Amino acid sequence: DKDRIIGGYPCIPYSQPWQVFIYSPVRCGGILLRDNWVISAAHCNNRNLRLRLGENDLQQREGSEQERTVAKVIPYPAFNPTTLDNDLMLLKLDRPVKLSQAVRPLPLPRACARTGDVCLVSGWGTITTPQVNLEENQREALGNPQLRVSKVRPGVDVEEAPGNPEFKFSKGDSGGPLSCNGTLQGIVSWGLQTCALPGQPGVYTRVCNYVRWIKDTM
Domain boundaries of the chain, sorted by first residue: 19-105, 106-208
**In the sheet where 118-123 sits, what is the strand order?**
9-10, 135-140, 118-123, 177-180, 183-190, 202-206, 156-160, 148-153
Beta strands 37-40; 148-153: pairing state: unpaired
**Which residue has better confidence, 170 or 18?**
18
User: What pLDDT is stored for residue 105 in this prediction?
Assistant: 98
Catalytic annotation, residues: 43, 87, 174
User: What pLDDT is stored for residue 42 in this prediction?
Assistant: 93
Q: What is the pLDDT of residues 34-87, one digit of tens each?
A: 999 999 999 999 888 999 999 887 777 888 899 999 999 999 999 998 888 899
Which amino acid is residue 131, in one-letter code? Q
Q: Same topology for domains 19-105 and 106-208, yes or no?
A: yes
User: What pLDDT is stored for residue 83 in this prediction?
Assistant: 83
Q: What percent of the chain has pLDDT over 90?
A: 37
Lowest-pLDDT choice from 158-162, 187-191, 192-196: 158-162
Q: What is the pLDDT of residues 136-166, one digit of tens each?
A: 554 444 332 222 222 222 233 334 333 333 3
Per CATH, the number for 106-208 is 2.40.10.10
User: What pLDDT is stored for residue 140 in this prediction?
Assistant: 42
Cα distances from 82 to residues 42, 79, 180, 205, 208, in angstroms, run 12, 9, 28, 15, 23
Highest mean pLDDT among 67-71, 127-131, 149-153, 199-203: 67-71
Lowest-pLDDT choice from 7-16, 75-84, 112-121, 146-155: 146-155
Reply yes or no on whether the pLDDT at 198 is more than 60. no
Per CATH, the number for 19-105 is 2.40.10.10
